[in-house]
Amino acid sequence: MIDEDFYLATDRTQCLTPIALPDNDNLPLNYARIYYDNTLLNGLASATSDDLKSANMLTPSTYDKWRPTANPSDCTLIGTSQLCDYVAIAAHNLSGSTVVINVSNGGALTEVYNSVVPSNLPLLARFTEGTFDRVFIEITGTTTAEIAVVYMGKELVMMRPNYSGYSPATLSSKDVFTPQASDGGQFLGKQLVRKGFNTSASFSHLTYEWYEAEFQPFVLHAKKYPYFWAFNLLEHPNEVVYGWTNQNIKPSLMGIRNWLEVSFDIDAHGNL
């Protein structure tokens, strides 16, 4: 039974004592990650095949792509030198191809990915934080490769894990169909004209200081640009989407201490 003094307390900071949070760099992988920081945006690009269109990977658009025809093929993307711990690739068709990703700061190369790509969902390579300004991508096993988006930067780790009720993005389709029926109402077929995903994320018990310092830069980014979203890399390492938010992200005070809660919708890209 809750003591009635709990409800009468004028100093609500005494009503709940939170568990101390671990250091941000050591938060477990089941805490959601957002990959929005991108040093490659509007940088420089070159490639051994389809060199002219290699710059398409430096913009957030999923429509314009780099389409090399050589096997193997490779490209170099150069941005601004900064602390980085991830490379992410979206809107690609690399499933079944072998991809090698190296990063550098103008000197020795550091390999961060070398594997057969398992699917056409966004590819995420996480690595030990370091100062880098360029990405080298080599593709083997296909002459019809396509890549639209490449990000490199520093990941944002949410202060709290996801709560129950989250809909996994890759299982939450937001497709557009064109049904076809006869004049008599008979079903003739249905055409998929747009493919995508949709989910929403909710977080609570966020400190005001953390929100301002860590999350608000993402809020400002999301006004104009997409981002990569991973809700639980520990249990679902391939559950990564490239999405965007169509409304302003606004927090609200919970009435407990100085804590905030926030939620936002995510519309994500899907390959047809």
Summarised one tens digit per residue, pLDDT across range 9-55 is 334 344 344 444 445 567 889 999 999 999 999 999 999 998 889 99
Task: Tell me if 174 sits within 8 A of 196, measured CB to CB.
Answer: yes
pLDDT score for 35:
97
pLDDT score for 119:
92
pLDDT score for 188:
72
Task: Tell me if 260 sits within 8 A of 206, measured CB to CB.
Answer: yes
pLDDT score for 179:
76
pLDDT score for 24:
57
Stretch (H or E) spanning 179 = strand 176-181
For the chain, how long is the longest CA-to-CA vector? 74
pLDDT score for 15:
39
Give the whole-angstrom CA distance, residue 192 versus residue 190: 7
pLDDT score for 161:
83
Give the whole-angstrom CA distance, residue 73 versus residue 220: 36
Residues (pLDDT < 70) of the chain are 1-25, 163-164, 169-177, 191-196, 272
Task: Tell me if 21 sits within 8 A of 55, measured CB to CB.
Answer: no
Task: Tell me if 46 sits within 8 A of 25, measured CB to CB.
Answer: no
Task: Tell me if 263 sits within 8 A of 203, measured CB to CB.
Answer: yes
pLDDT score for 86:
97
Closest to 141 measured CA to CA, from 163, 167, 114: 114
pLDDT score for 192:
59
